[in-house]
Chain A
């Protein structure tokens, strides 16, 4: 957690920080901070933290003849669990840069002076408003070997693609579905970020004769640092936690090639009813995610 602290401390100095003048003022600040934070903190403790602690106590097998760590030794001796960790790693390495690059590209495009720009933005965001149950079922039909997508590839003279039926393709298909939902969503945050960048910066650099590419690297990207850090962290976390499309599209197959860890966990918890192993696996997942997010905070400090 030290990285997160470091990030906070290195942030722009808050208003009162320079001169904490009197004790009374400090007490006033403390009181108001308490009032502002308390509802959220209480909700988070009750709705996230306490159940998480409860889940962890499920992971420890108290009173088992096979020792208190038996749930962990069970999942770590399970090749399917290792496979799901590995698949999740590959998935993350591909999908996060892909989604962020696409979202950033679209955000830049859709902050240009385009007629009816709001409509195009909304249409790209729209998939996120469709319940996942249905959007996955729509793709299930589109991806059929004799479905419309292969109809298009055939019409273009390309071979049929085994979207969901071959191990080499299925994970890519999951990535397509998740990105279809995700890119528009993350784009929206970056659009908001770009619009906070003062227009005068672009105008000045235009007058200096800077091209679009230079403007992108020298104005847009630095100006987007905070929203980008947010999107990077939030996108990474949410991609670690994906399971609904997998459940409907592939059930982890073919041959375990789409068995993302969160799907693996929900199968254990909900279908097989093995809460002990599911909680142990959840704990492993949370440790992995914390490690990754800590690295991201360190690599991308929110300095101005």
Chain B
């Protein structure tokens, strides 16, 4: 008995010593390793392999972090001066903040190349203080998906697919109610980015309100104006009436829709692939993003970009890769091949449209044209501000509360006060540094 215990102890001690001495060694000798911190596990292997084939002796390590951790991890690691990251995925509305903290290299000298290859909205998404700090990868838009079968069974008119047939929200809700009243679905309407500012901003602006941040540098909150309250009441009503679900998180919305429980879904193009997967395929259709009666048509835009960290030791090589994955049409196509999001590279976008049309030929006939019109005429970027993270965090929480039935005016007033404090503190901190 005593002997076995001794031997167990000895083995474990030895293994620890071995472990301590064997770990912590460097990687291969001549190989240059570029590390890319990104929130898209499994999405970039094709583009990385293509680049590695062309550049012998270069390896790109994909460090993917879970999507809802990427802001935190980027902040924690770049904020602590981690030199181990060469390339970083950038969420455009957070760009200004990252630039203010000095995380990214200035890429303005490549503006001509960008103008050759990218749609304008893409370039705007990586611009802060009039300069470019990253390379856009994708863009985005929201669409109104509908459950064709449920609408037909309820005798509700099917929405048209072209931008000329764009419905008003008033009309959408009326149809949604009819479908629910006919007993076809439990809910009338869901949003795959429910409570999130990204999806709400176009509605807020369509109803006639500002985007919520004003003043120099967009550091003055304005989220309790009568128009904001008007939108808040609308948002509150659709949830308190049960037309839209409470307590269903954004991640569950597409599944809710494709299991036939909702008549409409406001969602992004990424939902297409998931709706076509399984027995819901082809029982849906898509229509343009709605707007409020007497209001402007406003659509969301922007998606991830890639930047080069200012602490990288391989800036040239990192730039070469980033440009390959965005400016080079072949590279950009590969970078979008897994996460089928619309590339900002115009040539790669064509290939993407082909892909989408293969996926759902009938439903996506008008997709390309609609996407073009929305992003050229109706898209609004999220406000460019170093305080965007604070703003978005507060707003997402406020609308989550409103969805759950909190008093609209109080919630927006409290949001306004909290933002006043936080953004002022941000200015104080900036002044100290």
Taking Cβ atoms with an 8 Å cutoff, the residues of A that contact B are 61, 63-66, 70, 74, 77-78, 80, 133, 140-141, 143-147, 162-166, 251-255, 267, 269-277
Question: Within B219-254, which residues are at the interface with A (CB < 8 Å)?
Answer: 245-249, 252
B79 near A253: Cβ-Cβ < 8 Å: no
In the bound complex, what is the Cα–Cα distance between A61 and B428 (angstroms)?
Answer: 12
Question: Within B416-433, which residues are at the interface with A (CB < 8 Å)?
Answer: 418, 421-422, 425, 428-429, 431-432
Chain A residues in 8 Å Cβ range of B249: 140
With A65-B431, A140-B249, A145-B246 known as contacts, the answer to whether A271 contacts B389 (CB < 8 A) is yes
A-B contact pairs, 11 of them (CB 8 A): A66-B428, A66-B432, A74-B425, A140-B249, A146-B245, A162-B404, A165-B404, A251-B400, A267-B393, A273-B389, A274-B425
B425 near A254: Cβ-Cβ < 8 Å: no
Residue in contact with B75 in the complex, picked from A64, A165, A273, CB distance below 8 Å = A273
**Apart from A145-B245, A146-B247, what are 17 other A-B pairs with CB-CB below 8 Å?**
A61-B432, A74-B425, A140-B249, A141-B252, A145-B246, A146-B186, A146-B245, A147-B247, A162-B404, A165-B404, A254-B400, A254-B405, A255-B404, A255-B411, A272-B390, A273-B75, A277-B425
A271 near B71: Cβ-Cβ < 8 Å: yes
B429 near A274: Cβ-Cβ < 8 Å: yes
In the bound complex, what is the Cα–Cα distance between A147 and B249 (angstroms)?
Answer: 12
In the bound complex, what is the Cα–Cα distance between A246 and B425 (angstroms)?
Answer: 26
Find the residue from A70, A269, A272 having the highest chain B CB count within 10 A: A272
With A66-B428, A78-B421, A145-B246 known as contacts, the answer to whether A253 contacts B401 (CB < 8 A) is yes
A165 near B245: Cβ-Cβ < 8 Å: no
Residue in contact with A276 in the complex, picked from B97, B245, B422, B429, CB distance below 8 Å = B429
A164 near B247: Cβ-Cβ < 8 Å: yes
The 9 A-B residue pairs with the shortest CB-CB distance, nearest first, are: A270-B72, A165-B404, A145-B247, A254-B404, A273-B75, A64-B432, A165-B247, A165-B246, A144-B247
Flag B28-66 by CB within 8 Å of A: 1 or 0 each: 000000000000000000000000000000000000001
Flag B246-287 by CB within 8 Å of A: 1 or 0 each: 111100100000000000000000000000000000000000
Chain A residues in 8 Å Cβ range of B422: 272
Question: Within B172-194, which residues are at the interface with A (CB < 8 Å)?
Answer: 186
A63 near B247: Cβ-Cβ < 8 Å: no
With A145-B245, A146-B245 known as contacts, the answer to whether A272 contacts B393 (CB < 8 A) is yes
Chain B residues in 8 Å Cβ range of A147: 247
B247 near A272: Cβ-Cβ < 8 Å: no
In the bound complex, what is the Cα–Cα distance between A143 and B247 (angstroms)?
Answer: 8
- Closest CB of chain B to A93's CB: distance in Å? 25
Q: Is B406 an interface residue (CB 8 A)?
A: yes
In the bound complex, what is the Cα–Cα distance between A78 and B101 (angstroms)?
Answer: 25
In the bound complex, what is the Cα–Cα distance between A272 and B94 (angstroms)?
Answer: 11
B401 near A273: Cβ-Cβ < 8 Å: no
- Closest CB of chain A to B213's CB: distance in Å? 16
Chain A residues in 8 Å Cβ range of B432: 61, 63-66
Residue in chain A with minimal CB distance to B73: A270
In the bound complex, what is the Cα–Cα distance between A148 and B422 (angstroms)?
Answer: 40
A144 near B248: Cβ-Cβ < 8 Å: yes
Q: Is B76 an interface residue (CB 8 A)?
A: yes
Residue in contact with B397 in the complex, picked from A64, A78, A252, A276, CB distance below 8 Å = A252
In the bound complex, what is the Cα–Cα distance between A78 and B394 (angstroms)?
Answer: 14
Chain B residues in 8 Å Cβ range of A271: 71-72, 75, 389, 393
Residue in chain B with minimal CB distance to A273: B75
In the bound complex, what is the Cα–Cα distance between A70 and B397 (angstroms)?
Answer: 26
- Closest CB of chain A to B59's CB: distance in Å? 29
- Closest CB of chain B to A245's CB: distance in Å? 14
Chain A residues in 8 Å Cβ range of B404: 162, 165-166, 253-255
Find the residue from A77, A267, A270 having the highest chain B CB count within 10 A: A270
With A65-B431, A164-B247 known as contacts, the answer to whether A253 contacts B397 (CB < 8 A) is yes
B247 near A162: Cβ-Cβ < 8 Å: yes
Chain B residues in 8 Å Cβ range of A165: 246-247, 404-405
Residue in chain A with minimal CB distance to B422: A272
Chain B residues in 8 Å Cβ range of A252: 397
Find the residue from A78, A269, A271 having the highest chain B CB count within 10 A: A271
B405 near A272: Cβ-Cβ < 8 Å: no
- Closest CB of chain A to B237's CB: distance in Å? 16
Residue in chain B with minimal CB distance to A70: B428
- Closest CB of chain A to B355's CB: distance in Å? 30
In the bound complex, what is the Cα–Cα distance between A272 and B75 (angstroms)?
Answer: 8
In the bound complex, what is the Cα–Cα distance between A164 and B404 (angstroms)?
Answer: 9
Find the residue from B97, B249, B401, B404 having the highest chain A CB count within 10 A: B404
A251 near B389: Cβ-Cβ < 8 Å: no
B397 near A273: Cβ-Cβ < 8 Å: no
With A64-B432, A78-B421 known as contacts, the answer to whether A273 contacts B252 (CB < 8 A) is no
With A143-B247, A272-B389 known as contacts, the answer to whether A80 contacts B72 (CB < 8 A) is no
Question: Within B93-121, which residues are at the interface with A (CB < 8 Å)?
Answer: 97, 101
